[in-house]
């Protein structure tokens, strides 16, 4: 796969949305829970020995005869973890679902690195691996890692998310997958995703092979499990498939809602850049930078 660098054109005015306060340790642009030095006043507290005298509110002392120090909201950075499913099922579709997921992950990395945030990309698959960056210069290495990704075999997404949790703290965790797994595996994956970060996000990557599959007579063989399903092409079969697909997507979205996971369909029918600036922004997964966007 080749990720065209023109993909990032027009995304300059966006960044990853952060509805929660950052828990980052490094200075950044996101409001954090930490109170100390900053710009926006948060609170006052009585002076204690060792406090910086520059923080004493002398006007309050003149009015109240109490020595109070000013506390400010500190701005910290965000840590974003992105996990890309590279199981065999992601290798299907035109364009391939894995290529589409790679482009979305590259766009998210671009948004994060432009805002001086830390990003980790993990590829869960046969040629998997992890790459991280905290400045704009790290983007080429991340893009190359995504370009090298190959789809194949089965992937234990819950284990991949657990491994990601061990790599370090993350404010945002974004999982890009088609989630074509058994219900119990899906549940374990969603639970693990919900526990990985304060802002878990599921980008549900489906392609034409799911949205408009070839249902002509024959035996259809599962690429990962080898399960065989005999189908007879008919109007009723197509109707039942469409209803089943809608029900399945609705179930996943509802379960994500229960687990406070931000869900967004990321179908290959819409280009990655349009998704980042459109659907993901509507769902408050991305947002305009201060003074940018519309």
Partner 1 sequence: MNLASPWALSLAALAVPLVAAYLYRRHDARRTVPSAILLRAILDPRPPSRRARAQLRHRASLALIALALAAGILALAGPGAGSTRATRTVIVLDRSASMATHDRDGERLARA
Which residues on adjacent β-strands are paired with residue 121? 82, 131
Nearer to partner 1, 47 or 241 (CB): 241
Choosing from 213, 265, 271, 293, the residue that interacts with partner 1 (CB under 8 A) is 213
Instruction: Examine residue 44 and tell whether it contacts partner 1 (CB under 8 A).
Output: no
Q: Which of 212, 209, 201 is nearest to 259 (CA)?
A: 201
Choosing from 243, 254, 260, 274, the residue that interacts with partner 1 (CB under 8 A) is 243
With beta carbons less than 8 A apart as the criterion, state whether 84 and 104 touch: no
With beta carbons less than 8 A apart as the criterion, state whether 120 and 167 touch: yes
Instruction: Examine residue 99 and tell whether it contacts partner 1 (CB under 8 A).
Output: no
Quote the least distance from Cβ 269 to partner 1, whole Å: 15
The footprint of partner 1 on this chain (CB under 8 A) covers a number of residues equal to: 41
Instruction: Examine residue 188 and tell whether it contacts partner 1 (CB under 8 A).
Output: no
Instruction: Examine residue 184 and tell whether it contacts partner 1 (CB under 8 A).
Output: no
Separation CA 112–CA 105 (nearest Å): 10
**H/E element, 258:** helix 235-258
Applying CB under 8 A, the span of 136-144, 179-187, 189-197, 252-260 interacting with partner 1 comes to 179-187
Please give the full DSSP string across 76-145, using - where no structure is assigned: E--EEEEEEE-SGGGG-TTTTHHHHHHHHHHHHHHHHHHTT-EEEEEEESTT-EEEEESSGGGHHHHHHH
Instruction: Examine residue 180 and tell whether it contacts partner 1 (CB under 8 A).
Output: yes
Instruction: Examine residue 68 and tell whether it contacts partner 1 (CB under 8 A).
Output: no
Q: Which of 87, 71, 43, 291 is nearest to 176 (CA)?
A: 87
Choosing from 42, 209, 259, 288, the residue that interacts with partner 1 (CB under 8 A) is 209
Separation CA 267–CA 37 (nearest Å): 43
Instruction: Examine residue 228 and tell whether it contacts partner 1 (CB under 8 A).
Output: yes
Which residues here bind partner 1, judged by CB under 8 A?
88-93, 97, 178, 180-182, 207, 209-210, 213-225, 227-232, 237, 240-241, 243-245, 247-248
């Amino acid at each position: 796969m080749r990720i065209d660098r023109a993909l990032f054109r027009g995304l300059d005015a966006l960044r990853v949305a952060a509805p929660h306060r950052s828990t980052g340790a490094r200075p950044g642009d996101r409001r954090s829970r930490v109170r100390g030095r900053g710009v926006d006043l948060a609170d006052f507290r009585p002076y204690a020995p060792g406090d910086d005298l520059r923080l004493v509110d002398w006007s309050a002392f003149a009015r109240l005869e109490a020595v109070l120090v000013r506390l400010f909201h500190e701005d910290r950075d965000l840590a974003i973890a992105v996990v890309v499913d590279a199981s065999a099922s992601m290798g299907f579709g035109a364009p391939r679902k894995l290529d589409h997921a790679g482009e979305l992950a590259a766009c998210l990395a671009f948004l994060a690195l432009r805002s001086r945030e830390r990003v980790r990309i993990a590829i869960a698959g046969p040629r998997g691996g992890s790459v991280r960056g905290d400045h704009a210069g790290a983007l080429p290495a991340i893009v190359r890692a995504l370009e090298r990704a190959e789809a194949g075999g089965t992937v234990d997404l819950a284990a991949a998310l657990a491994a990601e949790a061990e790599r370090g703290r993350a404010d945002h965790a974004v999982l890009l997958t088609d989630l074509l797994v058994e219900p119990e595996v899906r549940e374990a994956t969603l639970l693990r995703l919900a526990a990985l970060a304060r802002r878990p996000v599921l980008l549900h990557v489906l392609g034409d092979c799911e949205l408009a599959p070839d249902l002509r007579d024959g035996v259809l063989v599962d690429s990962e499990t080898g399960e065989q399903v005999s189908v007879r092409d008919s109007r009723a079969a197509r109707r039942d498939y469409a209803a089943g697909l809608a029900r399945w997507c609705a179930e996943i979205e509802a379960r994500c809602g229960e687990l406070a996971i931000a869900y967004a369909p990321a179908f290959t029918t819409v280009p990655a850049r349009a998704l980042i600036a459109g659907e993901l922004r509507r769902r408050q997964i991305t947002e305009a930078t201060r003074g940018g966007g519309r």
